[in-house]
Amino acid sequence: MSISTGIWVMVTAMLIVFEAAGQAGAQEIVYPPNAGVFNVVTDGGIDNGGTTDVTAKLQQIINDGTNKTQRRLQVLYFPKGTYLVSGQLQMKLDTSRAATSHSHGPWLVGESKEGTIIRLKDGTWPKPMYDLEKGDENGRAVQKIYEQTVLSCGDSTNTTFNKIIRNLTVNTGKNNAGAVGVMYNTSNTGFLGEVDIISEDGQGVAGLALAGVENGPGQVRNIRIRGFDIGLYNATDYVTACSDITIQNPNKLGLVNHGQTAGESIVIEMDKTGATAIRNEKNGVLSVVGLTIKGNAPSQPAIMNDGSLYVRDLKTSGFASAVHNSDAKEPSPSGNELDEYCTGAVVGLFENSKMSLRLPIKKQPLVPYEQDFSKWSNPLDYEAVGDGQADDTAAVQKALNEPGKTHVVIPYGKRFRIRGPLTVGPEVVRIVGTTGVMPFSVDDNASLTIGDGQSPVVVVEGLTNCPTIYVRTQRTVVLDSVRSNCEKPQMPKAPPGQPKNLPPAKYFTVGYYLMGSGDVFVNDTGTTLVVDNPRQHVWLRHYNSELGQGAALVPVEVKAGSVWMLGWKSENLCQRVRIHKEGVMELIGYNNYEVSSTRQKDGDWPIFEVIEGQFSCSSLNQRGSQSNKNLVWETRNGATRKLTVKENPGNKNFGLYTGYDPRQLPALRGE
């Protein structure tokens, strides 16, 4: 066998493994001994045999892992086993509604979704203290549910940052009709992912409650909820990106939406006679692509809508109709399946099909973790200092390029000074950060380049204040909870061998510069990005941009290539998106928020600027005391038209905007 043939066989085999892992939605997450994570069993002495009540001891560990500064936060690792609790586990130190102090982390990471189980003792909360179904319009009158929630992120303003719950099961046991499985609350960054929430006897107030004062934005992905009165209750103030959610056998409702939900691939299976599956409340903004609802309510609609609604590829069975609008001014659509529907008028400046782009949607691969620790490297193995002052560039580069090492860990408690360009080695499959916040001290000319190599997929996860990342490869790249340095107004210098066509200096530092020809999957970030290759395709889920003051900053620029985005919240009226002639962008769920009078005022720039490019956006929702008056500027064949608040029938919001050349659709969709 030739060398090239051997590499091809290896790559094909790895792709099969990655695809299988993605379909199963399961990973065995491990960390090497020098990663600096806190193992709650070996380091914390927690019993995971399922018979000892570990509530108090585990709560103390969570308190110790939560930090009020942005310098460090702890990764708490839960090996396989059952952790028996008889009360709430709270991930925030100050739980009062008046709390203003920041809270970062911790990250709760299980070894196995099926094997790591936090289980509520039977009969702990047999009676509900609050009925979520009768909550007020904005969903905040739910204080008492937090006292009977197994795993809670806290309920205090918008300062509970970077909460990550990953790869485990929360089981509310039996005879706990008053229990909520998980109350997930995060601000700006964080995700709840690869989690099962189960009631053994079907009882419980709710499986997952996205509630609390000023909750969000955040990401919820790969979640299965079984049982409970309500499967998913969303009262987020800011848009939450929800992917691959399965809700099974709720007693009353599958989904109640008070906030803004941007969703994809949601399945609701109702086995209760006469029950509507989804209720979108008066102030709710619900935008979902790929929604399947199965029930047994021939006299009821699958979705009862009182708010703003956008659905695509909606399939229902066992209901009288797919959607019923309570507002008589908004006629309800007919039928049990809808290709595409939104409340309000479809907005556009030029003649087109009045439908969204419908770009292909891909799922990111779940890449297996290397179980052999001899194949992991660590900068500390190569004489890195990690004090934030000494130059650790060479040591980090050695860790990234050591032969035979496929995984690189950036350990907790260290800060590595990067003064120049770094390159990911050809054998590296995954780079894992366990520090959570500030693992690097980054100079202006620092960068991290991902080029071609042996592995078909490269994963970078859990890093903040990372150097600017250049993607120049045909391989698949996953950037998961990675936030690159984007706080300086000047551009970084191009690494050796990189093209010089970087954005001009008037832009803020670009966090991701994507110029490859493969697929890029991005989760949970606020990093600025430029896409600059017609063959570069990006799927971005949960984006939060809050750049500083300035005139018409551009956090996202699509010069060439395509971007499909789920859930974007911005906070600053000077931000905009720019899409050029070879660029394509589809956005599902956008929340534009601004209340502070001290920030940059609205000026002569739009939220979206389409310069001969292709663009569609569902559910633009502006909230706060201030808003952008210019929504979209679109240039087509040299002529520019402007959509402003004055001209838009939906005032400062819209349900669906379409701006593209219909003749290009077959090529864009791969038809």
Among 169-183, 529-543, 635-649, where is mean pLDDT lowest?
635-649
Q: Which of 253, 239, 247, 242 is nearest to 268 (CA)?
A: 247
Among 71-75, 117-121, 269-273, 354-358, where is mean pLDDT lowest?
71-75
pLDDT, averaged across the chain = 86
Query: Backbone dihedral region of 479: left (phi > 0), alpha (psi from -120 to 50 degrees) or beta?
Result: beta
- Specify whether the CB–CB gap between 455 and 429 falls below 8 A: yes
Residue 345: its pLDDT value, please? 84
Among 94-98, 460-464, 515-519, where is mean pLDDT lowest?
94-98
Residue 9: its pLDDT value, please? 35
Buried b or exposed e, range 423-452, using 16+ CB within 10 angstroms: bbbebbbbbbbbbbbbbbbbbebbbbbbbe
Confidence of residue 385 (pLDDT cuts 50, 70, 90): very high
Instruction: Give the best-scoring range by mean pLDDT among 365-369, 491-495, 548-552, 603-607.
Output: 365-369
In angstroms, what CA-CA distances link 202 with 65, 152, 498? 33, 20, 57
Q: Which of 270, 241, 265, 358 is nearest to 23 (CA)?
A: 265
Residue 437: its pLDDT value, please? 60
The Cα–Cα gap between 78 and 317 comes to 40
* pLDDT surpasses 50 at 506: no
Residue 38: its pLDDT value, please? 92
Residue 316: its pLDDT value, please? 97
Q: How confident is the model over 523-554, as pLDDT tens digits?
A: 999 888 999 999 999 999 999 988 655 555 78
The Cα–Cα gap between 383 and 434 comes to 19
Confidence of residue 485 (pLDDT cuts 50, 70, 90): low
Residue 74: its pLDDT value, please? 76
Cis peptide before 106 (omega within 30 of 0): yes
Give CA 107 to chain center in angstroms: 15
The percentage of residues in the chain with a pLDDT greater than 70, rounded to a whole number, is 85
What is the average per-residue pLDDT within 276-304? 95
Which of the pair, 215 or 105, is modelled with greater confidence?
215
Tell me the helix, strand and coil percentages in the chain, rounded to 5. Answer: 10, 45, 45
Q: 396 is written with which tokens?
A: 């980090």
Among 13-17, 262-266, 317-321, 546-550, where is mean pLDDT lowest?
13-17
* pLDDT surpasses 70 at 321: yes
Which of the pair, 493 or 423, is modelled with greater confidence?
423
The stretches of 572-664 forming alpha helices (DSSP H) are none
The stretches of 30-164 forming alpha helices (DSSP H) are 55-65
Confidence of residue 19 (pLDDT cuts 50, 70, 90): very low
Q: 206 is written with which tokens?
A: 């709710």
HEC profile of 168-197: EEEECCCCCCCCEEEECCCEEEEEEEEEEE
